[in-house]
Amino acid sequence: MQIQAVQETSFVEIQNILAKQRNFFLQGKTLEYSFRLQQLKLLKQIIKAHETEILQALKSDLNKAEFEGYATEVGFTYEELNHAISHLKSWMRPKTVWTPMTQFWAVSKIYPKPYGVSLIISPWNYPFQLLFAPLIGAISSGCTAVLKSSELAPATSSIAKKLVTKYFQPEYVALVEGGVETSQYLLQQKWDVIFFTGSTQVGKIVMQSAANHLTPVILELGGKSPCIVDETAHLDFAAKRIVWGKLVNAGQTCVAPDYLLVHESIKQPLVQKIIENIKKSYGDDPSQSPDYPRIINEKHFIRLTNYLKDGNIIFGGQTDINQKYISPTLLENVSPDSPVMQEEIFGPILPIMTYKNLQEAINFINSRPKPLALYLYTNSSENEKRILNYTDSGGGCINDCLVHLAPQDLPFGGVGDSGMGNYHGKSSFDAFSHPRGILKKTNLFDVPIRYAPYLNKIKLLKYFMK
């Protein structure tokens, strides 16, 4: 499949879709459990029926191997769908909470309510999953959705557009294609919730636009996720798992280990094992491996190759602009002030820094914006406790990387510069709902204490509210 550019959706059409969705939401159809369930099942059927085309589109956009495309995009979406299908009923159920004696007799309940018309903007790196996983949240919660796919992954955008247009009514779910201008136009409109996945820089623009309408936002952003390997770590497993986590999608993963912070005593053996594992996975020449993805476009290729100047290359460093290929590369002697250590790398380049004691590593991490993920390889429960207590990140793993995205019950999201709000599993349902708190009072009797004249009722009040 060779698709060079997305088919831009016109502004008139966007207005039309938005008006229709507002009207459709108010009709209340999305409030029904049966409707939501049916739509989730429909989404699964659609993906199943077009799985091959989706995987081909991912191959075309990013040279993703079928295995990788399935594991990280299509299969991942099935897991989210299965979880939502089996838990939807309990998520939708109003939850009774405690009511204080002062309100005797009453029942307090939290009713999850859909925000309404949602906008979902996605990036190019997991162009299928990052469009449809949030949609599962929108459907589960009873929102309508306008999806904005990434213009930089045109093949995936095209198949996504085809599927959404063919199987969903635009008043319920629609997909808008286009670049920055289209995205900006969308952001000028009034939405009931905006779910954005992308860079921290654009996340700020999204939040500023949303502020004009006081629209709640979920911002799934990026940043530099540190990966600490201490002197007690199981080096064989650490090396294998780091290589996997860094090179899936050629490092173009928001939660990829961005750089290593390694205890100086184990740097040499770790580097050796990392090199061995790169060769085991992708051969002596990864450009020939059918499993090694490519950089999304020339702009990002050039950005990445510039980082190669920021340290000493101890492994890799081969590039080919025609193929947008950058080999897995290890860098040492990098300055913390250099671009490769200041900007999110988002490619197959791994700077390796060392530390002498753990506090140094903690101080380094805490001197920087809060990362989306943090990884620690250790066999020391003391070190684990210190890192979990004294650093912060959206999420992370101990002795692995990336896989904290797999359990649906773990909320996934950032903190500080890496974003706000969470999703996956129940968190996706919550992201598109607001908890409406309702107290229902009995009509059998009426406790008179709260009404004036207060006389000496203060004593009674103090008995209940002490």
Catalytic residues: 220, 254
Beta carbons within 8 Å of 122's beta carbon, 6+ residues apart: 130, 131, 134, 147, 148, 149, 150, 197, 198
Closer residue to ligand NAD, CB minimum distance, 45 or 342: 342
CB 40, min distance to ligand NAD, A:
21
Interface region with ligand NAD, contact rule CB under 6 A, candidates 215-223, 238-246, 348-356, 428-436? 215-223
Identify any residues that bridge with 218 across adjacent strands, giving them in sequence order. 195
CA dist 41 and 39 (Å) reads 5
Q: Which x/- pattern over 358-397 shows residues binding ligand NAD (rule: CB under 6 A)?
A: --------------x-------------------------
Q: What is the DSSP string of 147-191?
A: EE--TTSHHHHHHHHHHHHHHS-TTTEEEE---HHHHHHHHHS--
CB 245, min distance to ligand NAD, A:
14
Among positions 117-136, residues that touch ligand NAD (CB under 6 A) are: 121-125, 130
Q: Does residue 183 touch ligand NAD according to CB under 6 A?
A: yes
CA triplet 289, 291, 293: central angle to 5 degrees? 100
Q: Does residue 189 touch ligand NAD according to CB under 6 A?
A: no
Nearest to 40, CA basis, from 155, 183, 138, 174? 138
Nearest to 260, CA basis, from 282, 233, 221? 233
CB 317, min distance to ligand NAD, A:
23
Q: Are 261 and 227 in contact (CB under 8 A)?
A: yes
Q: Collapsing DSSP states into helix, strand and coil, what is residue 114?
A: strand
Q: Does residue 68 touch ligand NAD according to CB under 6 A?
A: no
CB atoms within 10 A of CB 340: 24
First to last CA, the chain: 71
Closer residue to ligand NAD, CB minimum distance, 125 or 393: 125
Q: Are 402 and 255 in contact (CB under 8 A)?
A: yes
Q: Does residue 17 touch ligand NAD according to CB under 6 A?
A: no
Q: Does residue 425 touch ligand NAD according to CB under 6 A?
A: no
Residue nearest to ligand NAD (CB): 222
CB atoms within 10 A of CB 90: 9
Out of 222, 245, 316, 396, the only residue in the binding site for ligand NAD (CB under 6 A) is: 222
CA dist 154 and 4 (Å) reads 6
Among positions 405-424, residues that touch ligand NAD (CB under 6 A) are: 414, 419
Q: Which x/- pattern over 332-361 shows residues binding ligand NAD (rule: CB under 6 A)?
A: ------------x-x---------------
Q: Does residue 256 touch ligand NAD according to CB under 6 A?
A: no
- Footprint on this chain of ligand NAD (rule: CB under 6 A): 121-125, 130, 148, 150-151, 179-180, 183-184, 187, 197-199, 202, 205, 220-222, 254, 344, 346, 372, 414, 419
